[in-house]
Amino acid sequence: MDTTQTFWWFVFYKDQLLLEKKNGTYAIPYEKRPPVTDETAVVYSIATLDGYSCQTFAVTGSPENDEQYVMVGLRESYIHIPYEQFAIAGKARQILHFNFHNRFCSACGNPTEQITSIFRQCPACKEEYYPPIAIAILALVRKGDSVLLVHAHNFKGNFHSLVAGFLETGETLEECVQREILEETGLRVKNVIYFGNQPWPFPSGLMVGFTADYESGEIILQTDELGHGAFYTKDNLPELPGKASLARKMIDWWIESCVN
């Protein structure tokens, strides 16, 4: 490695991101050499930021927090670093996950070779591997002046969010929205309109948001996935998801539209 250049270092232990303590805040390490070392680590060049290369690697043991560095969960890092750095950290996590889980060919079992950070190939049977992206929808369902919010059993917290679910084979995104809402809440919706999307590196997804209007039905929850669900007005909202998520951006957009 060229030690005359300065790099951004995105260092992970599992889903924990290494941040440097600077003047009471946290920052992505920006140095000529990696802030920690691991002889088994493979370093990937994944992006550029402010004209400097971004490097990422994973360590096999968690570095101890000290006066200079601290390990922070990737989700939590959103509140500590600029969004552009958070987005690159998410990309880094996805690339590390892809390379770790595709070290061997699923077709013949031989070790694969890294061609680029996002391309591996089996030298024996020539099978090719690229980072898979799991697509999931988010649905903001409106009914008059209220919005449908649900609490799923797998949420890490007491917050409520939007109905979500993974795209199935042979399904359009709009069909996925209607199916997931019907399966999880018993409601039928109409006017399904695209809102936006967000890479979701937990571990390797893409969230695609839609708005929809209530059409018919009564709430009957799919209880193996959801613990609670109801329509809320802007004046009686429950705890909401963190601001890093597309779901929160959609809910905030809805609140603003109610005000206007």
Task: Identify the DSSP state of 168.
Answer: P
The residues near 34 (Cβ < 8 Å, ≥ 6 apart) are 9, 11, 43, 55, 57
Give the pLDDT score at 67.
86
Give the pLDDT score at 23.
85
Element (H or E) spanning 128, and its range?
A: strand 128-129
Taking the complete model, does pTM exceed 0.85, yes or no? yes
Quick check: 190 and 183 in contact, CB under 8 A? no
Sign of CA dihedral 15, 17, 18, 21: negative
Give the pLDDT score at 1.
55
Other C-beta atoms within 10 Å of 234: how many? 15
Give the pLDDT score at 55.
98
Q: What's the average pLDDT block by block, 10 residues per block, for the chain (260 residues)?
A: 82 96 92 93 96 96 88 94 96 98 98 97 98 98 98 93 98 98 98 98 96 98 97 97 95 91
Give the pLDDT score at 22.
87
